[in-house]
Structure 1
Amino acid sequence: MKALSVIELANLYGMNRQSIYKRINKGDLSKNSDGKIDFSEALRVFGEPSNKNKDVTTLQSATVQKETEVDMLKQHVDMLKQHVDMLKQQLELAHEREVFQREQLEAKDNQIEAIQRLLKAPKANLTTFTDQKFNEDIATDPRSEPEQNYDGLTTLVEKENKRIPVPEHVELEPPKRGFLSRFFLPNG
């Protein structure tokens, strides 16, 4: 049978709680290990509840409804705990990504600083463009040739730039003709 609390039993029989506790202390009524009183035990001691009071079935249905609500709330709490755990994991992963990105940015900043220091460093042996002498022969004369080593055994002969002459007027080739057109069409 269903176990009822002292308050539920007092409401069912229309009694006050003190009278139920007196019966328990006398030993007439016994409690379960969970502190509730079995309904069969209450029937033995008090008899059937009167019609004036709440019906046992409505009381039992109310307790079943409360238990169902409690179970649903427990399930909801468990789901919320799982959701919170999942969000904690996502937050940890996001924090790890943020730390990684910061490290990457610091490394790139260090590289940029090193390159800037190298660019600002004085260059003792290097000459700048303005320090160089301008040699017109090398830069402007396309016909000049590099100096050749003279070994004294052969005679030096100046080589001319030999260019291929291009005629001013070039005649176009006649269009190609097919095999049969050579025989049947007039020469063009």
Structure 2
Amino acid sequence: MKKLSVSELAKLYSLSRQAIYAHINKGNLSKGSDGLIDFSEAIRVFGEPKSKESKVNESKSINSQEVTEVDMLKCQVDMLEKQLNQAVLRENQSLERESFYQEQIEAMQRLLEAPKPNMTTFTDQKPEPDIAPSINPKVDIAVPEEKITPTPEPTENPRIPVPEHIEPEPKKRGFLSRFFLPNG
């Protein structure tokens, strides 16, 4: 098949060289290792070339500005899709974090000690109408013994052995007296 340069292809199809290079960069059109484009490849992408009379009458050629605008819009769409995906990911992470903290709160509430059934609370107490409060300051208030907890007596630690006989420490000696004076 016949091979054409980018300039020849642009003249044949009434396109700008930038439009041809835009198709090459997008991967729609491929160049050979020699830098030329196969004519069959050009027909596949652009169709049959029109005769000169029909080229004047029809304006279906691709304008390079339209191609660059379309590429810009595609880039913007890709960027917006990435931003949307990141926002959805952040939302999912915050929901996961919220559920994690809610589970932690529930676990802590379960770990708290529940009130014992035999203990009376402030709301369970009933006022006794027969007993009037005394205002006598000399009266001692008796505290029931069941509420007073005795302090434990100190006991020896079983892990630390206490020797039965303690020897006195020898008198401390200076540096030179250790070498020049006899032991004793």
Q: TM-score, normalised by structure 1?
A: 0.40
Instruction: Kindly name which structure, 1 or 2, has the bigger radius of gyration based on alpha carbons.
Output: 1
Q: TM-score, normalised by structure 2?
A: 0.40
